[in-house]
């Protein structure tokens, strides 16, 4: 139940091709996250899977069935969006049970399924309220509950947490991870949030301008990126890119993560000047102006007192550098 194959998927709006040939196989029960810069086509791809957007060429296969031309409601896919799209005049209970009611499900069965979902999502105390009487996080839980009661083959989520404040985002993220474990359902999730992608995904799909750059488990992408794009996109703060020639390195570009760049007042391989310091509590980020590499980021654990305009030296941990050729491809 819930295996998905995308084969040669393409999508054009007018003359502009937005999705440029995507092949992807998602296993039953897998949690796959789409990430990529704004406008790269994440939502469009998700909407093509759900049937909300026509496919220009290619096929969508769900559970072994070609659903490319099947209407959204008949695909067995439940969708959760950034905006909750709840019916304001219906109670939480009725919002959650509506799809089942419309499908002609017997009343007792609806009540049982709604109760089960509401218990999973800790919504029991709110079943008789209307959406206006709920917080944003509670509303999003109702939208998720509405998806669960349909026992879909596949869940698709389009930035479901981006309207929530920081604390609620964390709580709801953990709930989604738990739901995935409990339901064992296939989930496809679009986000621009690094932490959501890293913590929720079994595999992350990195998209760039309508094409797949790399697919892999979060730590695989972090530890073994194929190119400068993936290396720069996965990880926050992002990887530093240095000029190989200036370091006497055979590579065009040398990548080093901020946590693998040592900083010292006594000097180092790369001289520079502190341009800015951010103390985040548990860690300190020091931004250092260098020649010819530009602004580099150093990540230190704990609190550190580097001052703006101070002269420092940076030294990359030689065992943690990534090498890339002039086209950005990884040299292994």
Query: Do the beta carbons of residue 47 and residue 190 sit within 8 Å?
Result: no
The 181-220 contact track toward ligand ATP, x by CB under 6 A, reads -----------x----------------------------
Query: Do the beta carbons of residue 93 and residue 125 sit within 8 Å?
Result: no
Query: Do the beta carbons of residue 303 and residue 284 sit within 8 Å?
Result: yes
Closer residue to ligand ATP in complex, CB, 135/236: 236
Closer residue to ligand ATP in complex, CB, 152/210: 210
CB of 59 to ligand ATP, least distance (A): 19
Question: With binding defined as CB under 6 A, does residue 79 bind ligand ATP?
Answer: no
Tokens of residue 6, six digits:
């995308």
CB of 75 to ligand ATP, least distance (A): 19
CB of 155 to ligand ATP, least distance (A): 17
Question: With binding defined as CB under 6 A, does residue 18 bind ligand ATP?
Answer: yes
Kind plus residue range of the DSSP H or E element containing 231: helix 228-233
Query: Which residue from 249, 300, 296, 259 is spatially nearest to 276, judged by alpha carbons?
Result: 296
Please give the Cα distance from 154 to 100 (Å, whole number).
17
The strand ranges marked E within the chain are 4-13, 16-26, 31-35, 57-62, 65-66, 77-81, 154-158, 186-190, 203-208, 211-216, 240-243, 253-256, 261-264, 270-279, 283-290, 294-301, 311-316, 322-324, 330-331
Kind plus residue range of the DSSP H or E element containing 232: helix 228-233
CB of 96 to ligand ATP, least distance (A): 27
Question: With binding defined as CB under 6 A, does residue 87 bind ligand ATP?
Answer: no
The 308-327 contact track toward ligand ATP, x by CB under 6 A, reads --------------------
Closer residue to ligand ATP in complex, CB, 100/156: 156
Please give the Cα distance from 174 to 178 (Å, whole number).
6
CA distances to 76, 127, 184, 186 from 3, rounded to whole Å, are: 12, 33, 12, 7
Q: Which residues in the 22-51 window bind ligand ATP by CB under 6 A?
A: 36, 38-44
CB of 13 to ligand ATP, least distance (A): 3
CB of 40 to ligand ATP, least distance (A): 4
Question: With binding defined as CB under 6 A, does residue 160 bind ligand ATP?
Answer: no
First vs last C-alpha separation in the chain? 38
CB of 39 to ligand ATP, least distance (A): 4
The 132-151 contact track toward ligand ATP, x by CB under 6 A, reads --------------------
Residue 223 has phi, psi (to 5 degrees) of -90, -20
Question: With binding defined as CB under 6 A, does residue 13 bind ligand ATP?
Answer: yes
Please give the Cα distance from 325 to 332 (Å, whole number).
10
| Number of residues engaging ligand ATP in binding (CB under 6 A) | 11
Q: Which residues in the 284-313 window bind ligand ATP by CB under 6 A?
A: none
Closer residue to ligand ATP in complex, CB, 41/255: 41
CB of 198 to ligand ATP, least distance (A): 17
Query: What residues make contact with ligand ATP under the rule CB under 6 A?
Result: 13, 18, 36, 38-44, 192
């Amino acid at each position: 139940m819930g295996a998905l194959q995308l084969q040669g998927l393409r999508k054009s709006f007018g003359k502009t091709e937005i999705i440029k040939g995507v092949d992807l196989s998602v296993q039953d029960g897998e949690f796959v996250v789409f990430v990529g810069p704004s406008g790269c086509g994440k939502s469009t791809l998700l909407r093509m899977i759900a049937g909300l957007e026509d496919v220009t060429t290619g096929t969508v296969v769900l559970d072994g069935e070609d659903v490319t031309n099947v209407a959204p409601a008949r695909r067995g896919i439940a969708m959760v969006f950034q905006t909750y799209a709840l019916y304001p005049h219906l109670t939480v209970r009725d919002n959650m049970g509506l799809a089942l009611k419309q499908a002609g499900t017997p009343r007792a069965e609806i009540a049982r399924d709604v109760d089960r979902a509401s218990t999973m999502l800790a919504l029991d105390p709110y079943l008789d309220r209307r959406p206006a009487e709920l917080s944003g996080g509670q509303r999003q839980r109702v939208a998720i509950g509405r998806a669960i009661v349909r026992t879909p083959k596949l869940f698709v989520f389009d930035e479901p947490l981006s309207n929530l404040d920081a604390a609620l985002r964390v709580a709801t993220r953990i709930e989604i991870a738990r739901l995935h474990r409990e339901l064992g359902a296939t989930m496809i999730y679009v986000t621009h949030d690094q932490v959501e992608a890293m913590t929720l995904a079994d595999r992350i799909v990195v998209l760039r301008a309508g094409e797949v750059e790399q697919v892999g488990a979060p730590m695989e992408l972090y530890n073994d990126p194929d190119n400068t794009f993936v290396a720069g996109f996965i990880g926050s703060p992002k990887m530093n890119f240095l000029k190989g020639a200036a370091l006497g390195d055979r590579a065009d570009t040398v990548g080093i993560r901020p946590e693998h760049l040592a900083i010292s007042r006594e000097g180092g391989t790369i001289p520079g000047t502190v341009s800015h310091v951010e103390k985040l509590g548990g860690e300190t980020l020091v931004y250092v102006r260098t020649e010819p590499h530009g602004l580099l980021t150093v990540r230190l654990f704990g609190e550190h007192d580097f001052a703006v305009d101070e002269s420092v030296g940076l030294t990359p941990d030689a065992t943690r550098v990534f090498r890339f050729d002039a086209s950005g491809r990884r040299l292994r």
